[in-house]
Structure 1
Amino acid sequence: MFKLLLCCLLLTIDGGWAFNHGQDLVDFQTYKENFTKTYPSTSACNFANYYFIYNRNQVAQHNAQADRNRTTFREAVNQFSDIRLIQFAALLPKAVSTVASAPTDPPPSQAAATSFDIITDFELTVAVEDQGVNCSSSWAYATAKAVEIMNAVQSANPLPSSLSAQQLLDCAGMGTGCSTQTPMAALNYLTQLTDAYLYPEVDYPNNNSLKTPGMCQPPSSVSVGVKLAGYSTVADNDDAAVMRYVSNGFPVIVEYNPATFGFMQYSSGVYVQETSALTNPRSSQFLVVVGYDHDVDSNLDYWRCLNSFGETWGEEGYIRIVRRSNQPIAKSAVFPSALA
């Protein structure tokens, strides 16, 4: 109890600020327990407490606007609520491709349906992954999940095994696996190396506590691995193509700017990105577009995307993003298109 009081009640002398120790302390203690938070020092704990209170209050203010129908989505305290927005953005630096694209011709496709969802329409049970806060690895998680979902659709397997993002981090990261790498590196690895199979996570476990990729060590004896024959790209802003491929059972990976309070603490509803975030983004998070539809409550069309922030973020790990011509989802869009 003394350590808790020392951590969370004392003011930070150098910083010149303090916080009250009533309900704020109770809320922060509950937050730490719910998200299994520990901090390396009293100072770090104090800063976390300060920003938790700030972000909690921001969530309350935003949701008060949602209650008045002045915004179309809600926010909630989550694993990022003890850091500043600028720190969150720094965790997810702008992606920079280090490899040449080697796409194949896109597969034949039928016209897009009015609405479609790969997960629900094919009745798939797909695990939501958590990339953690130590490594900007959404490029690997998104690629592994897209291959997993496509393989599940084409093999008619409603209960696919999670595929290893860690393998892609270790084997395709090329020195920037925890910073600025892109899905293209993973897709080139899987298609250009003859012995590159993407293994189940149970055989090549993910480890979101690592701050750097590990050694590339594919398991020596596994019964199942997915071999990818090709991938295809979508031109920037070509949302009609994204819709068509998703409607034909191909999950599409897109690059998205996450550096807003709304994305960081998104909880539910149709997310409409702030105008300022639409230009000159300095952060990247790769999402997997799995569906699209119309939301009756907000009267907005939306994309349904799978993130890799775990099930406690968003709508059990998913986010619905507004679908409109002036906010295209197709950015650096790519998708696995053929199995070997």
Structure 2
Amino acid sequence: MKKHGRVYQDSAEKERRFQIFKNNVEFVEKFNSEGNMTYSLSINRFSDMTYDEFLRHYTGYKQPTESTSSAAASFTYENLSPADVPQSIDWREKSAVTPVKDQGRCGCCWAFSAVAAVEGITQIKTGKLISLSEQQLVNCDTDNNRGCQGGWMVDAFAYIKQNGGITSEENYPYQSLDGSEGTCDMNKAKEAAAQITSYAEVPPNSETDLLKAVSMQPVSVAINMSPAFQHYSGGVFTGDDCGTSLDHAVTVIGYGTTDDGTPYWLIKNSWSDTWGENGYMKILRNTEAPGGVCSLATKASYPTM
């Protein structure tokens, strides 16, 4: 409670949270004691929450039944040969990734995923790394996306293109940590700090095509969460308890292979740098699973400039 600033409204709520915390401690300790896994779990700031609560507040990927994605460009990197694709890449090392951010109790992971991809391509094309505004997407991108109630990165890219760009984090800072949204500031929304010309989707269920795209720029992906996500602390996540229903959005900012030969995707999340590997995660790459581990190659997209 002290470490994470937890204050409960009364003794009954404190007792309820303590029981949830104990259950989570048992889950973490049981997992870690079983060994033979390529990743580990730990207690963190989410450990007084049930998994259902965690899903409700800290995810938010929802693909609408109707969207603007029909305007997406064709897959740009189709013709890359294996020789064009490096063995590993980490876009942080090329200064194309801003520090890890925190979506808080707002289901707008879609906005953070999309913004990270736009920040990446902007730096790659212009040499300037600019932290861009998730709050603008939460407040102003409302034709299909629904702020803290969920959204989809492709429609976020469509909004940025149609709007003539997206403003900076400095100009339109994030204010939805507690789940409140606010209304669109039209004046700030027109002060573009970065622009995109279009956006494209990676052919679904192809880790090979996803690899081509990530070798060229950070890519937005949707994934299926599992209870282990809540307490992931490091290593290569194998997604043994993942399903196929997409419910969270992250950004693939690289890939590589561990010293013992395990191939992985490098993921930037939006749960602050206190989660995982300083806010990042490795997920197993090149699997037999359709769409990859946790279906991360099912719905991948990226902006173009």
CA distance in 1, matches of 2:24, 2:166: 39
Which range moved further: 95-104 or 164-173? 95-104
Contact 1:198/1:225 (CA < 8 Å) preserved in 2? Answer: yes
Alignment of 1:280-299 (within 5 A): 281=245, 284-297=247-260, 299=261
Contact 1:177/1:212 (CA < 8 Å) preserved in 2? Answer: no
What SS does the corresponding residue of 2:29 show, helix, strand or coil?
A: helix
Contact 1:170/1:216 (CA < 8 Å) preserved in 2? Answer: yes
Deviation sequence 1:20-50 (CA, Å, 0-9, x none):
xxxxxxxxxxxx1221222233322221111
* TM-score between both structures, scaled by the size of structure 2: 0.88
Contact 1:230/1:337 (CA < 8 Å) preserved in 2? Answer: yes
Contact 2:102/2:271 (CA < 8 Å) preserved in 1? Answer: yes
1:118 aligns with 2:88: no
* Structure exhibiting the larger radius of gyration computed from Cα positions: 1
Structure-1 residue corresponding to 2:17: 48
One-letter code aligned to 1:268: G
One-letter code aligned to 1:291: G
Structure-2 residue corresponding to 1:28: none
How far did 1:86 drift? 2.3
Stretches of structure 1 lacking an aligned partner (at least 5 in a row): 1-31
How far did 1:244 drift? 0.8
Contact 1:78/1:313 (CA < 8 Å) preserved in 2? Answer: yes
CA distance in 2, matches of 1:251, 1:164: 17
Distance 1:165 1:321, change over 3 A: same
How far did 1:153 drift? 1.6
Structure-1 residue corresponding to 2:243: 278
CA distance in 2, matches of 1:80, 1:320: 19
CA distance in 1, matches of 2:120, 2:191: 19
Structure-1 residue corresponding to 2:219: 252
Structure-1 residue corresponding to 2:99: 127
CA distance in 1, matches of 2:97, 2:185: 28
How far did 1:199 drift? 1.0
Structure-2 residue corresponding to 1:15: none
What SS does the corresponding residue of 2:131 show, helix, strand or coil?
A: coil
Which of 158, 171, 181 lines up with 1:213 in the alignment?
A: 181
Distance 1:267 1:182, change over 3 A: same
Structure-2 residue corresponding to 1:188: 158
How far did 1:285 drift? 1.0
CA distance in 2, matches of 1:236, 1:220: 35
1:337 aligns with 2:304: yes
How far did 1:185 drift? 2.0
CA distance in 2, matches of 1:45, 1:183: 37
1:230 aligns with 2:203: no
Alignment of 1:17-56 (within 5 A): 32-56=1-25
Distance 1:82 1:247, change over 3 A: same
Distance 1:221 1:75, change over 3 A: closer
CA distance in 2, matches of 1:45, 1:150: 45
How far did 1:223 drift? 7.2
Structure-1 residue corresponding to 2:38: 72
Structure-1 residue corresponding to 2:136: 167
Which of 257, 260, 277 lines up with 1:315 in the alignment?
A: 277
How far did 1:268 drift? 0.3
Which range moved further: 53-62 or 75-84? 53-62
Contact 1:130/1:208 (CA < 8 Å) preserved in 2? Answer: no
Deviation sequence 1:98-142 (CA, Å, 0-9, x none):
41312123435643212112222x144621010012x11000011
Stretches of structure 2 lacking an aligned partner (at least 5 in a row): none
One-letter code aligned to 1:245: A
* TM-score between both structures, scaled by the size of structure 1: 0.80
CA distance in 1, matches of 2:30, 2:166: 44
Distance 1:126 1:301, change over 3 A: same
Contact 1:233/1:333 (CA < 8 Å) preserved in 2? Answer: yes
How far did 1:58 drift? 1.8
Contact 2:60/2:249 (CA < 8 Å) preserved in 1? Answer: no
How far did 1:220 drift? 4.6
CA distance in 1, matches of 2:280, 2:142: 25
CA distance in 2, matches of 1:186, 1:83: 29
CA distance in 2, matches of 1:222, 1:205: 15
Contact 1:272/1:321 (CA < 8 Å) preserved in 2? Answer: yes
Distance 1:243 1:188, change over 3 A: same
Which of 286, 289, 292 lines up with 1:324 in the alignment?
A: 286
What SS does the corresponding residue of 1:232 show, helix, strand or coil?
A: strand
